Amino acid sequence: MDISTYLQNFKFNNSTTTESEQIQTEVGFVQRYINEFWTSQQRQANALHEVAYRACFKPQLPAFFINWLSKEGDIVYDPFTGRGTTIVEAALLNRQVISNDINPLSRIFTEARINIPTQAEIHERLDSIDFNSPPDTTSDRMFKISLDAFFHKRTEQELATLSKYLTEQKKQARENHADSWIRMVATNRLTGHSPGFFSVYTLPPNQAVSIKRQMLINEKRKQIPEYRDVKTLILKKSKQLLSELSSQRIEQVNKIGNQAQFFTKDASQTFDIQANTVQLTVTSPPFLDVVQYSEDNWLRFLFNGIDAASVARKITTIRSPQEWAAMMSGVFHELYRITKSGGFVAFEVGEVRKGKIELDKLVVPLGVSAGFICEGIMINNQNFTKTANIWGISNNAQGTNTNRIVIFKK
C-alpha cells in the first residue's frame, strides 16, 4: 500500500476520516492529509518519556512513523534530538538510533534513558555521596551566585555537592550509567511547578527564569523556598520513569543504547554519520524565534558546568522565514546523504506567529531541492495540553497549533 492510500484510508480508533486537499507550493501541488493520527493524551506513552522540556512533541508522533516506515533493527535518526523523544521511542521499539543536537543538554537527557541502570545501582550510587559535606563556597560554581530565589539553602548545598561529585566523576573518566542517570534526573528536576522539583514554584515546563524574575514570582505568590531532599526526589523520579519497564525491556533498550551514536554538531555537518544508512528520520527543528533554548536552560548549564555563552553562540535564533529556510536547506542535503534508498524523513513543523507562517509550505521545496520525493503533508488535529494552558496558550491562537509533518522519500 502506498503512502497516499494508507493515509487516505486511515482511521484512528475506527472513528475518524481523513480529509485531503491539494496545496500549492513552489515545486507544484502537494497532497495534504488531515486527521487525528495519534492520541493527544501524553500519559498513554511509556513513563520513560516523562522528562519535562520545552518545545517537544509527544512520543506518539515518532511512534506512528517508526511503526509505519521502519522495522526492527533499522536505524532511526533525529538531527534535532531535544529531550530525546524520537531516540527513546525508537529504542523502546527495538530500532538502532543515531542522535544529534547542538545543545549538549540533549545528550544528558537522552543517553541516560537508553543506558538504564537498575534502581539498586541508582540507590547505591546516591548512598555513596555525602550530601551533608560542607560546601566549598570559594570554588563550587553553584555558589558563585546566590540561588536563594529558587532553593532552600540546604537544598542548594546538596545540589552543589552533587554537581561537584558528577563533575569529578566525568573529569576522572569514572562516570558510569548510574552517574549519568542521576545527572539526567537531577538536571530535569532543578526547577518546576510542583513539589517533585528541587525549586520553589516557578514556570513550567522545566524552564529556569532569571533570578530577578523568580524573586518577583516569589513575592507575588508570597512563597519562600522550602527544603527539598535531593536524594529522595531523584529516587522518586527514577522509580516513576522506570515504572513501566520490565527487566527484559530494559535489557533490550540497553542493547540499543550500547550501540547508539551521539553527536553534538550542526545538523548540516554530521559528517561522521555514514552515507546511505538511515532508514527513517523523525525530527522537529527549531521554529524561528519561538523558544530561547540557551536562556531557558542557564541553570541546567550551571549545574553541569556547561558554558552557556558558548552554547548560545552555536544555537541560532532566526527571525525571518528566509533565513530559516536557508539554514534548513543545508540540513536537508545532509539528510539526503545519510538516508538509504527507500528511506524516509518525517519533518515536523508547525504554524508560528499566530498561524501567519505555515512552515510546511517552506519545507517542501527544501526537501525536493535536496533530492527527496515529497510524499505529502500530514496534519494531526490536537488540543493543547495542560502545560500549554499554563502558558496562557489557547488552541489555534499561539505557538505551534498543529503537528504538520512533511513526509519525504529517497
In whole angstroms, what is the distance from residue 69 CA to residue 141 CA? 46
155, 227 contact by CB (below 8 A) = yes
**Could you give the domains of the chain?**
3-103+246-293+307-409 (3.40.50.150), 119-240 (no CATH)
| Residue 189, Cβ density class (10 Å: 0-12 exposed, 13-18 middle, ≥19 buried) | buried
Query: What are the pLDDT digits (tens) for 246-290?
Result: 999 999 999 999 999 999 999 999 999 999 999 999 999 987 655
Q: What angle do CA 170, 173, 179 make, to 5 degrees?
A: 50
Strands 278-283 and 339-349: parallel
Cβ neighbours around 267 below 10 Å, total: 23
| The pLDDT of residue 399 | 39
> Comparing 391 with 144, which gets the higher pLDDT?
144
Strands 403-409 and 28-35: unpaired
Instruction: Give the cell for residue 150.
Output: 529558587
**Res. 308 pLDDT band, cuts 50 70 90:** confident
Task: Please tell me the least confidently modeled range out of 38-47, 200-209, 335-344.
Answer: 38-47
Q: Rounded mean pLDDT of 101-126?
A: 96
Q: Rounded mean pLDDT of 57-69?
A: 93
382, 40 contact by CB (below 8 A) = yes
Instruction: Give the cell for residue 256.
Output: 540499543
Q: Rounded mean pLDDT of 2-27?
A: 86
Residue 161 contacts by C-beta under 8 Å, 6 or more apart in sequence?
A: 129, 130, 131, 133, 135
Asked whether residue 52 carries a pLDDT value surpassing 90, the answer given is no
Over the chain, what is the mean pLDDT? 87
| The pLDDT of residue 136 | 65
Q: Rounded mean pLDDT of 377-390?
A: 58
| Residue 108, Cβ density class (10 Å: 0-12 exposed, 13-18 middle, ≥19 buried) | buried
Cβ neighbours around 136 below 10 Å, total: 11
Residue 221 contacts by C-beta under 8 Å, 6 or more apart in sequence?
A: 201
Q: Rounded mean pLDDT of 191-217?
A: 88
Phi, psi of 62 (to 5 degrees): -65, -35
| The pLDDT of residue 316 | 64
Query: What are the pLDDT digits (tens) for 323-340?
Result: 889 999 999 999 999 999
| The pLDDT of residue 166 | 95
Q: What is the pTM of this model?
A: 0.91
